[in-house]
Structure formats: structure tokens, C-alpha cells
Amino acid sequence: MTNSKSKTQTQKINCTIHLADNALILGHRDSEWCGHGPVLEQDIAITNISLDLIGQARNFYQYAAELINHENGSGATEDTLAYLRDNRDFKNCLLVEQSNGDWAVTILRQFLFSVYQYLLYKQLQRSNDTQIAAIAEKALKEVVYHVQWSSEWVIRLGDGTEESHKRMLKATDDLWTFTGELFNPTLFEKEAAANGYSVDVATLKNEWMQKIKITFEQATLPVPNENVWMQSGGKEGIHTENLSYILADMQFLQRAYPGCEW
Amino acid sequence: MREEKNIDLESEKKNILQILETVCDPEVPVLSVVDMGIIRNVDFIDNDLQITITPTYTGCPAMDVIRMNIRLALAEHGYKNLELKTILSPAWTTDWMSEKGKEELKAYGIAPPKPLPVVCTLDAFQEEEAIQCPHCNSYHTKLVSRFGATACKALYQCEECKEPFEYFKCH
């Protein structure tokens, strides 16, 4: 009996960490634009979005640490989870770790992910885990702004100049293969859905595709085929080389000077 | 006797709220944490003070400073044993900002949040409700960016007096 309860807890911890990792890695990628944005107001916009995401990550990591410590009192904190885990332990999907590329790639990556996050959090508000539901309820308000902002950019660039249109086509080419993973539930997601504290992500796909379709049409961009081969593995800890570079940058200080503080 | 004790407790809670009114948002120093609706509850659990707060935006960096300032302000008044509890639900909304807070914002040059829209849609390029310029009161204003210097504010410009100003986004 205890074993099965412990297994359920482990999967809940994995699921919570996955939600946190998605937010942290995308938050980190967005923050790389700080000081380099194409226009001041957009530099500020993307770094604000980054901040929202990092806030979500903090909430989920804090909760995961609580769950872990309850299981084995190992002294986990939001910081140990964010800064001391290695590549194979991160459970973010591949989409969020992709390079920023140009502005077209960045805003498209944001759009594709934020619509997914919106649909996910909308359902997660009804999670039978009150803390997960509370985090989702709070984050949802902010994700609405992320979807609005990024969808407007998709339309601006898609239905913009010949150059911006071309870059949007290339961005779609680069990123589309990473979208399938979002809707392919991995083991802990299946457990989570079965136990009622998260959702079956496969059920989000149709509505997601609808939003993508409507926005792409407004942007005069061809809607990509959803039935193509998709990359996957991020949720299982098998990442692209991108993640190692991200962690080398993000974690260097904590891992070189363990326990350092302001 | 018990009634007297309850009255004492109530007046002590009022005192604590007054102390909390001196703790301000570090980014917008005219707003206290009470005006912002961040303080959700003040209670005594077995004679120990417990204050429940809720964060505004998920990633708001001012929250850590606010927590510290709450502890300092209360410690100065002799409340050293304080439990500061954070809850996320029900989610903070600008509807919890006091009228006094909204007036102070406007006087400070930031347009206060409008009441929360009933329907929050995802649609791109929505028609925004006109925001009043806090300097010249004109409604002839335009949105420059939905994200301002902080996560909670958007950037606007007045077409009448030409001054840029920030708008505290309804949330």
C-alpha cells in the first residue's frame, strides 16, 4: 500500500517539476533578449513575459520542494531544483529550449507555447490538488497577455513585409517539429491525469490547432500539417544540445560556488 | 472577561493594520500593502501573530522586499514572532485595490486600474477601453505597449498633452 502511495507521489513530483521546468527554461530563453530587443518597448515586453514565467516556475518549484521534503526530508528548495539538477533530470519539452533565433522565431515560439499553456492552465484550475489549481488560476491571468502579445506579433510579421513574411515561414519550419511533444502525454502526465491533479494533454490538441489556424490565416501564413513526424524526448530527459548550453549559463554560479548567497 | 479579551484582540488587529499601512510598495511608494489588497488576513493563533498575504503578479520581484519590510515594520513595534503566510488562491485582482489607493496612484501620475472586464478574451488587436490621462484627464490616449517598466503596468501616451504615462493593468 505504502509503495503505491509513494509511487503516486513520485509522479506528482515529476509532473510539478515538468510544469516548473517548462516555465523556467522558456523564461530563461526570453530573458536572453534583455538589452537586445529590436525596440525598447518590446525588450521590456519580452522581459516582463520572462518574469511572469520565472514566477510560475518559482511557485511550482516551491511546491515540488515541499512534496519532496515531505517524502524524504532531503532539504530540497526551489534553488536546489533550479540550479543543481543536470540535463537528464530536466523535464521541459523541447520547444522551450530552442534558440531564440531572430524575433520571428522568438515570438512564434512564444505563441505556440503560450496557447498550449493557456489551455493547460485553464483545465489545471480544476485540479484536485489545491496548490496546483491555485498556481494555475493565478498564472492564467498573465498567460492571457502572453497569448495576446505573441499572436499580434505573428500577425504583424506574417502579414507584414516580404522580409518579415519570409522569416515567419522559416520560423515555422524551424519550430513546428517540436509542437507534437506538447500533446503527447508521457508517463507522469498519464498518471497525473488518471489521479485527477493534472490533465490529459492530448485533449488540448484540437483547440490549440484551431487557435493556431485562425491566427496563421490572419497572418497570411500557410497552416502547417499537424500529421507530420514530431521530435520528442524532452519530458523524458532526452534534450537537444541547447539545454546544456542553457544550464551552463544559468547554473554556473551556483555550481561553481555551492551555497553562495547575496 | 471573554468579551473584553475579544475587544482587545480586535483593537490589536486594527493597530497592526495601521502599522501595515506604513509598509509601501517599493516600486510605487504611494501605495501601502493594505491599499494594494495584498494583506488578506491578520490573526492571532495561540497568541502568535499570523498575517496572510497574497502576491500580485506571479513573478513580482517586489514581493520579497515587501515581505521583508512587513517583518521589519512589525518587529519595530515589538512583534518579533510573526508567521507570514502566503496564499495563491483566491488569485489577487486589481478589484481588491482600495479607492484611496486608486486616487493616490492617479496623483502620483499612474492611471489606476479599471474594474476587471467580465470577459477576458485572447483575441489579438482588441479595442482597448479608453484610459484617462492622469496628468490632463483627457481620454484621448493611446496604448504604446501592454508591458511597462514593471509587470503590472502598461505604457500609454496622451495625445492631448503628449505626456507618456503608465497604466496599472486590470488583472
CB-defined contacts A:B, below 8 A? 89
Asked if B145's CB is within 8 angstroms of A51's CB, the reply is: no
The pLDDT, as a whole number, for residue B46 is: 82
Q: pLDDT (tens digit, 0 to 9) for every residue of chain A, 262 residues total?
A: 457 778 888 999 999 999 999 999 999 999 999 999 999 989 999 999 999 999 999 999 999 999 999 999 889 999 999 999 999 999 999 999 999 999 999 999 999 999 999 999 999 999 999 999 999 999 998 999 999 999 999 999 999 999 999 999 999 999 999 999 999 999 999 999 999 999 999 999 999 999 999 999 999 999 999 999 999 999 999 999 999 999 999 999 999 998 888 7
Question: Is residue A185 within 8 Å of A201, Cβ to Cβ?
Answer: yes
Q: Provide the ipTM.
A: 0.83
> Beta-carbon neighbour count of residue A212 at 10 Å?
23
Class of domain A2-256: mainly alpha
Q: Is A151 left (phi over 0), alpha (psi -120 to 50) or beta?
A: alpha
Q: Which of A188, A191, A149, A185 is nearest to A53 (CA)?
A: A149
Predicted TM-score of the model (pTM)? 0.91
Chain A contacts of B171, Cβ < 8 Å?
A: 141
Asked if B57's CB is within 8 angstroms of A148's CB, the reply is: no
B-side interface with A, Cβ within 8 Å?
55, 57-61, 87-92, 120, 122-126, 144-151, 155, 169, 171
Question: What CATH number belongs to B2-92?
Answer: 3.30.300.130
Intervals of CATH 3.30.300.130 along chain B:
2-92
The pLDDT, as a whole number, for residue B8 is: 82
Task: Quote the distance between the C-alpha of residue A118 and its chain's center.
Answer: 11
Question: Is residue A56 within 8 Å of B91, Cβ to Cβ?
Answer: no
Q: What's the CA gap between A32 and A27, in Å, rounded? A: 9
pLDDT-wise least confident of A150-154, A213-217, B120-124, B130-134: B120-124
The ranges assigned to domains in chain A are 2-256
